[in-house]
Amino acid sequence: MSRRQTVMLGVIIERRKIDNPWQDYSYHPVAVVPGMPALDVGEGWRLIREGEGWSHFHAATLELELFAGETGGYKVNLSNFQPHVYVVLTPGEEAEDEEVVPKLVTACPYEAESYTEDSEMIVEGVPMPEELAAWIGVFVDAHHVEEVFVKRKRNKAYDPRKGDMRPRPLVETDE
């Protein structure tokens, strides 16, 4: 099995009407669909269904990549009661773009967390389809290597005459 695997995922975005003087809609990813065909170039979002005040759109088809070196994150995700695929949305920059544009899908919670440092990004998890969880599980089983924690040991003994920094012991007070 290759140390890098990919699958295409359709990203489904919900646009919901909100009562806000600065913004007409809120946008949230609600699902991913394995194997969904890509949108045609210049097509824009494809309406899937709608209700009163909300619409679901196929907003993009993105590649989910699995790497053998990131199996620890995938394993943590799969161990949750409900595993997630994390969707990263970025603000649209071009005039013809929607307000948000799907940028990335990942199964690694650590990679998703790294995108939360940018306040303009929206990072949300959507439920992982069972067939996708099974596929990722096979990948993890094939490539995961458990890393044993090794406690570091000092190379030399502490010598106060050399100015080594050593934390002072805590002193309890009677307050």
DSSP 105-138: EES-HHHHHHGGGSTT-EEEEEEPPHHHHHHHHH
How many whole angstroms from its chain centre is CA 126? 10
Residues 33, 34, 36, 41, Cα dihedral to 10°: 90
Q: Is the pLDDT of residue 2 over 90?
A: no
Asked whether residue 160 is assigned to any structural domain, the reply reads no
Q: Domain containing 89: what range? A: 4-143
pLDDT band at 169 (very low <50, low <70, confident <90, very high): low
Query: Is residue 88 domain-resident?
Result: yes
Per the CB < 8 A criterion, the answer to whether 75 and 144 are in contact is yes
CB 60 within 8 A of CB 44: no
17 part of a folded domain? yes
Global confidence as pTM: 0.80
Largest Cα separation within the chain, whole Å, is 75
How many domains are there within the chain?
1
Order of strands across the sheet with 25-34? 25-34, 4-17, 54-67, 46-51
How many angstroms separate the CA atoms of 59 and 73, rounded? 26
Is residue 110 situated within a structural domain?
Answer: yes
Number of neighbours of residue 147 by Cβ within 10 angstroms: 7
Residue 131 within any structural domain of the chain: yes
26 belongs to a structural domain: yes
Half-sphere exposure (Cβ direction) of 101: Cα atoms closer than 13 Å: 11
Is residue 68 a part of any domain in this protein? Answer: yes
Q: Which residue has the higher pLDDT, 80 or 160?
A: 80
158 found inside a domain: no
pLDDT tens for residues 5-63?
999 999 999 999 999 999 899 999 999 999 999 988 778 899 999 999 999 999 999 99
